[in-house]
Amino acid sequence: MREENPLKEKPKLPGLPRSLPEGRSIDPFIVMDVMAEANARQANGEDIIHMEVGQPATPAPRAARERARNALETERLGYTEALGMPALRELIASYVKERYGASVGPERVVVTAGSSAGFVLAFLAILASGDSLGLPSPGYPCYRQILKALGLSPRLIETSAEGRWMPSAGDVDRLAAEDAAGILLASPNNPTGTMVVGDRLAEIAAACRRKGLWLISDEIYHGLEYDAPAETALAHSDEVIVVNSFSKYFSMTGWRIGWLVVPEALVRPIERLAQNLYISPPTISQIAALGAFDGIDELEAIKGNYARNRAMLLEELPRAGLSDILPADGAFYLYADVSRFTDDSEAFAKAMLRDVGVAVTPGIDFDPDRGQSYVRLCYSGPEASMREAAVRIGAWLKKQ
């Protein structure tokens, strides 16, 4: 476990009268920089295969698009309530009940401008300035950067293959001893694709109750599992904060619409924050989300494409030399060990993009300590593109 050290010196940029405060000095989200370079190469005529950004290659479900199209023609599209449209909150609560068997009243559902806004609202609602939150590593980099920007402290938990790259109840005990305020768990995880299995989620929830720590469960990749269904933290406690989104399973990344399920005591504090920070989630996106639940058959077919891509890459990449890939239980990522080829994953990813036009994300985005030995490959693209990527990567690695 390692706590990230804050910058010792605040940067002084040319032309600015004062040094920037520490919160403005967060690291970049490297995957977005990779995407920008890949897009620039594509605009210049290069044949680029995108395996860097974690987003579906498909549009929103047809019913969602039809709802949005009709609303553009017939509705005013003004503000909604800060917590979201009542009809959408009710539909999300029904979806949670149907999917997990967990009874959640719509009054506990908060519609957000994507899961990113959900994390900001959750962190501000439960954490005081200077508080720390436990984050599994490797993990989604924006967790720690959002915390730092808000004057909070990420406390990284180094996970391992022995624990399926997931934290444990013992990590909760250690966080409590170090006076952390809580722990954030993502299952399926980004970038590893691994999931918490067995009794571990129940044990973590129980440890959080025992130690008085918050548990935030990132469930945005739920629905994208291949061997066993993902488990919600709501099955073990009403005091957890669940973050979810229409971006991944529902194929609506650019619509920027997500949701929280929170304890009743947090609803009003989060509502006040949402009123002042965002006014309300995007109205057109909320209307589209109402239709998204009518597209489950369509979404399951898309998931079938992911499963075929996953199976193909797990067969072809080891033949190419990427034989050490973490268990890919869910999401649409493979996290591959490239240490036999490089000790600089960022340079490795840049060279792959330059040489064969395949964009992947260096592991340092997700794990500042061990990420030099890994890259993340997103397999949500069209099947033909993913197969071509495997061919290109295999031929390129043979020359390394």
Domains of the chain: 2-59+297-397 (3.40.640.10), 74-295 (3.40.640.10)
- Residue 3 vs residue 111, higher pLDDT: 111
Whether the CA torsion 192, 193, 197, 201 is positive or negative: it is positive
| Average of per-residue pLDDT across 155-179 | 95
Share of the chain above pLDDT 70, in %: 94
- Between the alpha carbon of residue 397 and those of residues 64, 310, 351, 352, the distances in Å are 42, 20, 11, 9
pLDDT at 5 over 60: no
Estimate to the nearest angstrom the gap between the alpha carbon of 278 and the chain centroid: 21
Split at pLDDT 50, 70, 90, the class of 8 is very low
| Average of per-residue pLDDT across 50-68 | 97
Q: What is the pLDDT of residue 27?
A: 85
Angle at which helices 30-43 and 345-356 cross, to 10°: 20
Split at pLDDT 50, 70, 90, the class of 11 is low
pLDDT at 98 over 70: yes
- Structure-token match 């395949």, residue found: 358
**b/e per residue 270-305 (b: at least 16 CB within 10 A):** bbebbeeeeebbbbbbbbbbbbbbebeebbeebbeb
Q: What is the pLDDT of residue 162?
A: 84
Identify the CA nearest to 256 among candidates 118, 61, 90, 54: 118
pLDDT at 37 over 80: yes
pLDDT at 12 over 80: no
**b/e per residue 206-215 (b: at least 16 CB within 10 A):** bbbeebebbb
Q: What is the pLDDT of residue 3?
A: 45
| Average of per-residue pLDDT across 186-195 | 96
Residue type, 368: P
How high is the mean pLDDT of the chain?
Answer: 94
| Average of per-residue pLDDT across 239-268 | 98
Q: Is 84 left (phi over 0), alpha (psi -120 to 50) or beta?
A: left
Range in 1-10, 96-105, 119-128, 203-212 the model is least confident about: 1-10
| Average of per-residue pLDDT across 149-167 | 93
pLDDT at 21 over 70: no
pTM: 0.92
Q: What is the pLDDT of residue 28?
A: 85
Split at pLDDT 50, 70, 90, the class of 1 is very low
Q: What is the pLDDT of residue 20?
A: 63
Residue type, 27: D
Cβ count within 10 A of residue 159: 21
pLDDT at 36 over 60: yes
